[in-house]
Structure 1
Amino acid sequence: MLMTLVLTRSYSGNLMSLLAVRHIPEPYQTLEDVVKDPSVTMIWKTKTIYVTHFRTSTSGIFREVGALEQKGRVIHRVAADIRDAFDTLVRRGDHVLLDVENSIFNRMTQDFSQTGRCDFYKTKAKYFRFMYAMVGQKDSLLIPAVSQR
């Protein structure tokens, strides 16, 4: 009796959680998945170091991603237009946005705040390292203070 009770309770709990939480399919977990799927188009932010890196790579996955541009599977958007592309093209499901993690996270949180739904996901794989830097005048008195920190 006790074993039946435990199995019944665990099954009903699992069934309830499966029915209560909406499932979002995650077909792309790596850049290889995107390269292999001919139905998806990538969105790149225009004039970034990453675009240059894709175009000049001579081997590996970044070369394959760069080759997608010649195949017509890449569209470029300036930073101001990324939000509209995110809301329309990526939401539609046939485009993926390739950007730095903090930018993707900010877009996802803004969308969730506005809609109350979680319609997007980001992969666990990390490809870009985003370094923050501050540029100052060569002989500025602020340079030693900034360099310390």
Structure 2
Amino acid sequence: MLILIFKDVEFGIFRKVADLENEGRLMFHTQAQFQESLDTLVRTGRHVLVDMENNIRGLVASDVSKRSRCDFYLSRDGFLPFSAVIMSQKTNPIIHGLNRRVLALLESGLFKYWAQDVPNFTRCDNIPKRLAFTATLSTTNLWGVFTVLGGGLTVGLVVWCAEMLLLVSTV
């Protein structure tokens, strides 16, 4: 289904994304290939996996259950609509009532609430707002701090000398 969103569009950002397949920068995978792609491509940090939120969260939840840690970052924002449908015959008289109720359930957030019943589903939700990188302290890591400190002391000394000269000249 997602492949059609990218391949059938004629212009815009989705067309530009679909054109990346010709450059070798985009790969389409089936649902059956997702677990293998998660382990071999995404875990190395060089690829991302794009799919419906519930599918991705299910994959992450099963990975957290296996490894007891959250190795993946889920973006806060999405770009694809959530799809939920009920299928019936065309002539069924209750379709219009079902459409209104499904839309109400979707807008109220009940689908997301029901989907959270998967074990470890929300384990990766509390991601840090900023990623911190740690490294050992050395002069190469701290040269900027010393530069700002030295520059501030130099400017302060110049201003102090100027004040002293101004004070001496007025006396």
Q: Are 1:93 and 2:45 an aligned pair?
A: yes
Q: Are 1:133 and 2:81 an aligned pair?
A: no
Q: Are 1:75 and 2:27 an aligned pair?
A: yes
1:102 alignment partner in structure 2: 54
Give the conservation status (yes or no) of the 8 Å contact 2:38–2:49. Answer: yes
> Which of these residues, 71, 74, 78, is aligned with residue 122 of structure 1?
74
Letter in 2 for 1:108: V
- Of 50-59 and 107-116, the range deviating more from structure 2: 50-59
Q: RCO (CA 8 Å, sep 6+): is it higher in 1 or 2? A: 1
Segments ≥4 residues shifted beyond 6 Å: none
Unaligned runs of 5+ in 2: 102-171
Larger Rg belongs to: 2
Structure 1 pair 96–147 and aligned structure 2 pair: CA distance change class (3 A) = closer
Aligned pairs, how many? 101
Structure 1 residue 148, shift from structure 2 partner? 6.3
Structure 1 pair 125–141 and aligned structure 2 pair: CA distance change class (3 A) = closer
More strand, by proportion: 1
Structure 1 pair 123–136 and aligned structure 2 pair: CA distance change class (3 A) = same
Q: Distance in 1 between the 2:7 and 2:43 partners?
A: 27
Structure 1 pair 138–110 and aligned structure 2 pair: CA distance change class (3 A) = same
Unaligned runs of 5+ in 1: 1-47
Structure 2 residue matching 1:74: 3-state secondary structure? coil
1:113 alignment partner in structure 2: 65
Structure 1 residue 53, shift from structure 2 partner? 2.2
Q: Distance in 2 between the 1:70 and 1:147 partners?
A: 39
Structure 1 residue matching 2:73: 3-state secondary structure? coil
Q: Are 1:53 and 2:5 an aligned pair?
A: yes
Q: Distance in 1 between the 2:4 and 2:24 partners?
A: 17
